[in-house]
Copies of this chain bind each other. A is one copy, B any other.
Amino acid sequence: MVYIGIDVGGTGVQVGVVNAQGNILAKDSIPTGVGRPYQEMIRDMADCTRSALAKAGLGEDQVQSVGVGIPGIADAKTGKVIFCTNLGWRDIPLRETFRQYMDKPVHIDNDATVAGLAESVAGVSAGTDSSVFMTLGTGVGGGIVIHGKVWSGFHGVGSEIGHMILELDGEPCTCGNRGCLERYCSATAIIRMARELVAAHPDSMILALAGGNPEKINAKIVFDAAREEDPMGKKVFRRYVCYLSQAIASIMQFLDPEIIVLGGGVSKAGAFLLDAVRQEVPKYLLFKNMPHARIELARLGPDAGIIGAAMLGL
């Protein structure tokens, strides 16, 4: 039997046929086509599933279940999408609608949550009892796995790590609050800190790498400047590591998972970031001499969404 994983994004939908070990046997994709009636979008997902199955040389009868990861809030119990800003969806009966086109068990959850599940089935946290996955991108998303199972909270609104408070009365956040963790730990935060510094230090390598245009600064440019020992690059990097490490330490003090996995665009900095964070985190731990969560980089890359969605059916 195989498991279908559907990764729904704002621009494209990726569908994969996945085995029980988390290996992708075949893939296909379609444009999301935001703005169309949801029934059409979901019908196309079912069609794309059939085409991916054909590529794998398999039939519908070999499908155990279908899992869907969405960039929003899902009610895993009812199979409804509660809301999903990027898709313009609100209260969409995804499971019910999908089953009109393909009658299989349908599981849904948040995309960061399923990416975390993927890592815990077939990635860096495979075989662990409990993990917290952090996607460090434009924002900060999260996925919690406890005793091998996804924990999205009792009401399905948990693992929103990016909106834990890291600073009382801190930086204003897009959510309306102040001091949310993602204002300090996202790529957006790196860019903000760099822009502030280069305004006063226009001779920084950061600005040179951005072609002299502060609007073109991105997280990679800042970290590249830091690797080259540029003072402003190093300053932003050190500050970012300090913030991220305090966020990680907070998660350890509260949930104490077996492993914390860093994914998303910022994690592509690899060992340069990982080594610094591993060194910094213990400074903030209450029990400095006790064993604590390993910190690792995500391993599955962009396929994590497909694999994790499929694994919702395990």
Contact of A86 with B by CB under 8 A? no
Contact of A53 with B by CB under 8 A? no
Q: Are A290 and B82 in contact (CB under 8 A)?
A: yes
Contact of A13 with B by CB under 8 A? no
A41-57 interface mask toward B, CB cutoff 8 Å, 1 = contact, 0 = none? Answer: 00000000000000000
Q: Are A286 and B175 in contact (CB under 8 A)?
A: yes
Contact of A246 with B by CB under 8 A? yes
A166 CB, min distance to chain B CBs, angstroms: 6
Assembly CA distance A291 to B154 (angstroms): 10
B contact residues around A159 at 8 Å (CB): 254, 256
Which of A145-153, A199-207, A208-216, A226-234 lies at the binding interface? A145-153
Which residues of A are in contact with B by a Cβ distance under 8 Å? 73, 82, 129-130, 142, 144, 146, 151-161, 163-168, 170, 175, 177, 179, 184, 243, 246-247, 249-258, 284, 286-287, 290-293
Knowing that A82-B290, A160-B286, A255-B255 are A-B contacts, what are 13 other residue pairs whose CB atoms are under 8 Å apart, sorted by A's residue number? A144-B254, A153-B255, A154-B256, A154-B293, A155-B256, A157-B253, A157-B286, A157-B287, A158-B252, A158-B253, A163-B286, A164-B253, A167-B170
